[in-house]
Amino acid sequence: MKLENQYKLELPVVIQTKITRYYLNLNQYRNWHYQTNNKIKRTFKDQIEPQLDFKIKGKCKIEYSYYAPDKRKRDLMNIISVVDKYFQDALVEKGCIEADDTSIVVEIKGTYNGIDKQNPRVEATITPL
């Protein structure tokens, strides 16, 4: 969804493949086999691809808002770090941004926005600078 000079996207925090459900967090990510990681990353990209219909020239900032599935305590950056990695890689691959390094993405913020049992997610807001 395009806001005034911003793009807001809804990103999954759980990836369901034919057999397994994968929770996107750093604790899981570091233990995945590289082929499993590749499969999860492709599935993530396929799920968000319909939202990647924009192009940003130059610098931008990304703000992430996390909505948890329940009231368990979680390390915010364990979740956002993996979602951010997959998301920025998808943005570059689809040509939405030129690169995912510090010459283009100059600011990243993450916030916890409470519980949404029906739709746990990370909302990303990209603002061109």
| pLDDT range class, residue 18, cuts 50, 70, 90 | confident
Q: Show the domain range for 62.
A: 2-128
Distance CA 101, CA 43 (A): 23
User: What's the CATH code of the domain at 101?
Assistant: 3.30.1330
Q: pLDDT tens digit string along 60-119?
A: 999 999 999 999 999 999 999 999 999 999 999 999 999 999 999 999 999 999 999 999
Q: For the segment 28-47, what is each residue's pLDDT rounded down to a tens digit?
A: 999 999 999 999 999 999 99
Q: What average pLDDT does this structure show over 21-26?
A: 94
Q: Please tell me the total count of domains within the chain.
A: 1
